[in-house]
Structure 1
Amino acid sequence: MRNQVANGGIGRNSAVGIRTRATMASDRAWQAGHAAASPMLTAAFLTAYLAALTCVALALALTPAGSESPAAGIVAAAGLVAVLALLTAAAIKANSAARAAGDSDGQCGSR
Structure 2
Amino acid sequence: MDSDLSSIVLVLCLTTFVSAFYISMTRMATQGKLDRHSSAGIHTPHTQASDVAWQEGHTAALPLVYKTGWVAAITIPLIMIVELKLGQPWAVITGVAGIQCEMAILFYAMKVANKATRSAVRLGI
TM-score normalised according to structure 1 size: 0.76
Partner of 2:115: 96
Higher relative contact order (CA 8 A, sep 6+): 1
1:82, distance to aligned residue in structure 2 (A): 0.6
Q: Distance in 2 between matches of 1:16 and 1:68?
A: 36
1:48, distance to aligned residue in structure 2 (A): 2.9
Does residue 83 (structure 1) correspond to residue 102 (structure 2)? The answer is yes
Structure 2: segments with no counterpart, 5+ residues? 1-23
1:7, distance to aligned residue in structure 2 (A): 2.0
Q: Distance in 1 between matches of 2:49 and 2:88?
A: 49
Does residue 25 (structure 1) correspond to residue 44 (structure 2)? The answer is no
User: 1:55–1:76: 8 Å Cα contact kept in structure 2?
Assistant: yes
Partner of 1:55: 79
Structure 1: segments with no counterpart, 5+ residues? 107-111
Structure 2 residue identity aligned to 1:46:
W
Q: Percent identity?
A: 32
Q: Give the structure with the larger helix fraction.
A: 2
Q: Distance in 2 between matches of 1:100 and 1:83?
A: 26
TM-score normalised according to structure 2 size: 0.69
Partner of 1:13: 37
After TM superposition, where is structure 1 displaced by more than 6 Å over at least 4 residues in a row?
A: none
Structure 1 residue identity aligned to 2:36:
R
Partner of 2:3: none
Q: Distance in 2 between matches of 1:69 and 1:4?
A: 36
Residues 53, 68 of structure 1: alpha-carbon distance in 2 compared, 3 angstrom cutoff: closer
Query: How is 1:62-81 mapped onto 2 (pairs within 5 angstroms)?
Result: 68=87, 70-81=89-100
